[in-house]
Structure 1
């Protein structure tokens, strides 16, 4: 499928955010990174940087959610977890540990807008709400998979939160250490916890 200029800019913004954070990603940088016309900024994103960043958060959320949901449905919780971890490992290694999670970048990097922005505080709250929604969607996918395998709702909720929080934090650790070792360790421990929970349910 051919990407439109708008699609390229959104994907490019998400990529830059994953490497630099939100505030170090400018509209000019996105144009250069995606080799798109500068005039396309005002055409596709009339609300400027805040609109582009918001679209990039939504895009990044879908990029994880779609394959995660498919893996959980097709392969079950444990193999789905392995696929989830493998996807982050591939991204880290393919970028030389320079790129992490753009959604996490939004959650930890206070938004500072460009000169045309009128209300950075409102923009920051909107972006945090979007990031929270993405994390909630990922947790819900994990929770649904655990429910399908027989866990009680409350336990499934806690374990889903554990998995998403553990992976997100570990991705940041891997970037700092420039190694996937921590990801391997966390995957092993998460599998142990999930296996035990599922065994008790099925037993």
Structure 2
């Protein structure tokens, strides 16, 4: 159910992903939702964000450790390309969906503001983790901490934004362009450390 909710969020956003949709999408018994997620949709969405974050962070960290910054970037972009192309550019990032959707539950839900803030905090934590992975790789390759932090933010923000652009255009062209520019920027920054 958690993976199914993450998938639906990546395609539809948070608002358009209902508990009923998750049950249908995952072919699970209806009663299992309330059993596993007694706090309802906000709990399911929170677990889906955590799941989606790990789905990116584990291979990203592995790629950065094994291939270095430039190779890791290529692997990061390639993973997003595969997802976009495999879904006909329907699926993006469920973590981004949480960051841009306005409501978690029903718009009239009095607890919605608190639930939304919890989910925004969770999404920010996922983005921060991805930045820390990139930061660690840049530091290992000798970049100064302040510059490494800025570049880590640039990479994550660029890829997240570009995935959204690719969905809108139904093309990976923007991903190719952003990858090329990021490689130039990163290679230039890393070359300065070797002088």
Task: Give the alignment's TM-score, normalised by structure 1.
Answer: 0.94
| Residue 55 (structure 1) aligned with residue 40 (structure 2) | no
Distance in 1 between the 2:194 and 2:107 partners? 58
Distance in 1 between the 2:2 and 2:83 partners? 18
1:172 to 164, 169, 174: 164
1:84 to 52, 71, 76: 76
Distance in 2 between the 1:118 and 1:43 partners? 23
Answer yes or no: is the 8 Å Cα contact 1:85–1:167 preserved in 2.
yes
1:159 to 135, 151, 164: 151
Aligned length: 195
Shift of 1:201: 0.6
2:8 to 16, 33, 37: 16
Q: Could you say which residue in structure 2 is the equivalent of 1:5?
A: none
Shift of 1:117: 5.4
Shift of 1:202: 1.1
Residue segments in structure 1 that go unaligned for 5+ positions in a row: 1-8
2:125 to 133, 142, 145: 133
Residue segments in structure 2 that go unaligned for 5+ positions in a row: none
Larger mean Cα displacement after TM superposition, 104-113 or 136-145: 104-113
Shift of 1:41: 0.7
What are the superposed Cα offsets for residues 156-196 of structure 1, whole Å, 9 maximum, x if unpaired? 00000000000000000000000000000000000000000
Answer yes or no: is the 8 Å Cα contact 2:46–2:119 preserved in 1.
yes
- The alignment yields a C-alpha RMSD, in angstroms, of 1.2
| Residue 124 (structure 1) aligned with residue 116 (structure 2) | yes
Shift of 1:109: 0.3
2:98 to 106, 110, 129: 106
> For 1:111, what is the secondary structure of its paired residue?
coil
Q: Could you say which residue in structure 1 is the equivalent of 2:194?
A: 202
Distance in 2 between the 1:114 and 1:200 partners? 52
Distance in 2 between the 1:50 and 1:112 partners? 6
